[in-house]
A and B are shown apart, each in its own frame.
Chain A
Amino acid sequence: MWWLPAAVARDTFMPPAATEIASKVDDIYAFLLWGSLLSFIILIGGMIYFVWKYKRQTGSDKTAYITHNHTAEFLWSFIPFVVFMFAFAWGWIVYHEMRSFPDNALEVHVIGKKWDWRFLYKNGKEITTTFDSANKAQAPTMVVPLGRAVKLIMSSEKMNPKGDDPTDRPVLHSFFIPAFRVKQDVVPGRYTAIWFQADKLGEYQVFCTEFCGAQHYAMQAKVRVVSVADFEAWLSSEGNADLSLVDKGRALYASKACIGCHTLDGVRGVGPSFKGLFGKEEAMDDGKKIMVDENYLRESILDPQKTIVATYSKPSPMPPFAGQLSDDDLSAIIEFIKTVK
């Protein structure tokens, strides 16, 4: 049994942890590994011992007549209960950290489609799959700075965003970075998000973990963690920084005539001013409160009638923009609104 303690280390079988949260996840994992080993030894060790000890000797063996034992039954109900609740509470604490987004995170848009990932930075830089000279696909690599929180705003688009094939519709994906112990489904029709803060340089694997069709297995990407200086240099130098997301959003604000009803200076028009709109809490007719976040903005732009704040007229005079805006345009407008403070 000498190998057991070595076999049950904190990160047995897990990929090396590259974030603080990953280390916290590994602590729970280690606790449960030890707990499992112990319960396995009690149950299966006990079973094997009894099978050996009480092997049938004759065809007419007498056996003990024991129907119950309150102490034993209480113990083997209560102790597992306490251990399970402990695991639950510990899991909750770390899960809560995973789901609590830091305010100053660097935001990157992640767009999944059959069967590819695409990364869009706020300055307009776009990372897609490339092909080397031997025509071999190179997985898209998201570059992030060391030691800084990164929030991924994720959405799903159709295979051919500009096409109008009715059978080509977005599907579920899931973004999984094993070394960071984070995973989140990418759901069509809305934004989902995860965050991480890498504290080790290196290149890490990304998988799609929600079945999305035959090439599901090929939907892979990489995350490269570099120093802050290298990141800034990379972000501004390489590639296609033609128009930042905010600039693109501002242009759309003018060209799509948002300007007619939504001011930027806080004066209420037919619709709400964009100034300070993002992150505001608004009340509905029934008193229900909602937070103006990316998903609420998305819904209000695509389908303005759906959820209208109490103080505005119903039905809303705003035309629906579903089908009028590409997913990227939509994200650009939302990013623009987020900057009007």
Chain B
Amino acid sequence: MAHSNSPKSIYKILFALPVVVGILAVVKLMHPAVAIVIAVLAVILAVLDLILLKTDTSKHDYLHAGAGLYSWLSTLDHKRIGILYFVTVMIFFLVGGIFAMLIRTELFSVGATIMTAEQYSRAMTYHGAVMVFMVIIPGIPAFLGNFFLPLQIGAKDVAFPRLNLLSWYCLLAGSAVAFSSLLYGGADTGWTFYTPYSVQLRPAVVLMISGAFIIGFSSILTGLNFVATTHKLRAPGMTMNRIPLFVWALYSTALLQVLATPVLAITLALLAMENIFQIGFFDPALGGDPVLFQHFFWFYSHPAVYIMILPAFGVVSELIAAFSRKTIFGYTAIAYSSVAIAAVSFFVWGHHMFVSGQSEIAGVVFSALTMLVGVPTAIKLFNWLATLYKSSINLASPMLFAMGFMFLFTIGGVTGIFLATTALDVHFHDTYFVVAHFHYVMVGGTLMAIVGGIYYWFPKMFNKMIHEGLGQISFFFIFVGFNVTFFPQFVLGAMGMPRRYFDYLPEYQHLNRVSSLGSYMIGFGFVVALIAVIEALRSNRLAGPNPWGAKTLEWTIQSPPIHDNFEKTPIVTAGPYEYR
């Protein structure tokens, strides 16, 4: 397929690299951690090379605007950077998912089965850190957001294209540094890095937090870009009351990214200094305060929870409007509730610390403020429900994911109220109830929205339709498997099973087995989703500009879009969901 004068394809060499380093690692000529880092990077480049070297410069769209791997690695086009994120995040998701499978397999039976306690604490640390910092946080904003924010507001690109590319390199560099911690035995603190355990001379932890620190800049740069783009690059007539709800969600997220992430960066810097130079910030043995770290950490990491979920709200608003072919109910309410959630999220961090030793009055204030977050969240759910009323619903696979999102997020939301209630949280804190709750919100919410969003926008990105049957099969396994995996964990948590346990009491075995079996269903569902994407790329089912009959601006242009997005700048005269 490669055009005659395009650079030579190197994907075969790149695909061979993981095999070579794998063999070197097995015969002990190379450290396994180095092998993993090289293999991951090689696969990222190889997949890019494979998809993208099919360059035919006679076509006029962004995929063909430049030829060769270098044109991708040096691109300033927000759409191409979105695709770079797509590939990267997918591969990190695979890595994090493998750790998840290892954890569930270990927990299938009482006693040690496939690993030691030391390996288990590393598996759970890497599962958490990879999924949070490398998958869910960049997942929607940097991939779908990068691609569609400029398209939805009628812009040629984001405000700072070079920063945009730099943000991708920050993610890549940070991830490489984070994975290099495997060279030093691996970090074993959990993704929360609680002190003083994490500051007691642990080089692997220093590398892991340095990685998270660098990745943080990726998040900040993306946020900066989105704030500036939303304010300055809207097409004529695209007032703030006409921007699609996905943009509102990304905008609220971007504010959080810009304001909260620096706090994490400072905290991680202090943590690194304490680890390296033994300066007492957080370890009482050095004169520090371990609870102070928890305040700092959650001051970022609670808003980060909304960095993860707000974009998903945006995707779901788009899906529901498009597939019910109806104007969204309560546009202003949904838009402003995103901003409200973002604002209140800065004042609820203490609800992670009800039993940490903070004062009773602090616990009570944080409990009340946390309850307030529930209100805009409930408003969103009711608005989506009201949008379905008297609509025309096409239950295609993206919409299935949106409905699945509502189902899972409702469960995740109501269990959040259990945890916000101080007296109940004392029992549930650090048990599997919390694990189940945040997986329902993060995975049930964000990942459902990512997959739904990929299926919805895939025709725009590549002008190919996802095979509907494969889409539905993947939904079935991900949705059912998800409930089978995580619902029993609510029960385990109520029974008292603590999280981060390598082994458990015999009475917990039955439900743990159910949960582990469910996790294999989820794994299978994601494999089907991956097959659906690859099958669609290779298929001849052309999508055309607007296969779903949606009304937002990205559907008015050709698929795939041209390099400059719009032939001429669109003039906007109506809101985004004018289905009359």
Contacts and interface: CB of A to CB of B under 8 A. Distances in A.
A50 B393 contact: yes
A216 interface: yes
Contacts of B425: 91
A90 interface: yes
Interface stretch (A32-40, A123-131, A277-285): A32-40
Contacts of B407: 44, 47
Interface stretch (A143-151, A174-182, A239-247, A248-256): A174-182
Nearest to B500: A211
A88 B500 contact: no
B363 to A, nearest CB: 7
Nearest to A295: B357
B200 interface: yes
B423 A174 contact: no
From A64, A181, A215, residue with most partner B Cβ within 10 Å: A64
A54 B391 contact: yes
B424 A91 contact: yes
Contacts of B327: 63, 65-67
A76 B498 contact: no
B149 to A, nearest CB: 24
Instruction: Give the contact-size bracket for chain B.
Output: 35 or more
A198 to B, nearest CB: 16
Contacts of B117: 214-215, 217-218
B498 A91 contact: no
B171 to A, nearest CB: 27
B356 to A, nearest CB: 5
A80 B378 contact: yes
B197 A54 contact: no
Interface in A177-208: 178-179, 181-185, 187-190, 192, 205, 207-208
B418 A40 contact: no
Interface residues of A, number: 84
B574 interface: no
Contacts of B371: 84-85, 87-88
Nearest to B423: A94
Contact of A211 (B194, B331, B403): B194
B284 A190 contact: yes
Interface string A21-55: 00011001100100110011001101100110011
A141 interface: no
A176 B331 CA distance: 45
A288 interface: no
Nearest to B379: A77
A162 interface: no
Contact of B326 (A43, A63, A172, A187): A63
From B201, B360, B426, residue with most partner A Cβ within 10 Å: B426
Interface of A: 12-15, 24-25, 28-29, 32, 35-36, 39-40, 43-44, 46-47, 50-51, 54-57, 61-69, 72-73, 76-77, 80-81, 84-85, 87-88, 90-96, 98-99, 166-167, 169-172, 174, 176, 178-179, 181-185, 187-190, 192, 205, 207-218
26 contacts: A14-B495, A15-B495, A28-B421, A32-B418, A35-B417, A40-B411, A40-B414, A43-B406, A51-B393, A61-B325, A68-B333, A76-B378, A95-B360, A95-B363, A95-B367, A182-B427, A183-B427, A187-B284, A187-B290, A188-B290, A189-B284, A209-B429, A210-B194, A214-B118, A214-B121, A218-B117
Given A13-B491, A94-B423, A211-B197, 11 more contacts: A36-B415, A43-B381, A54-B392, A66-B389, A67-B327, A84-B374, A172-B194, A178-B496, A187-B291, A188-B283, A217-B501
Closest 5 CB pairs of A and B: A189-B284, A178-B496, A61-B392, A91-B421, A94-B423
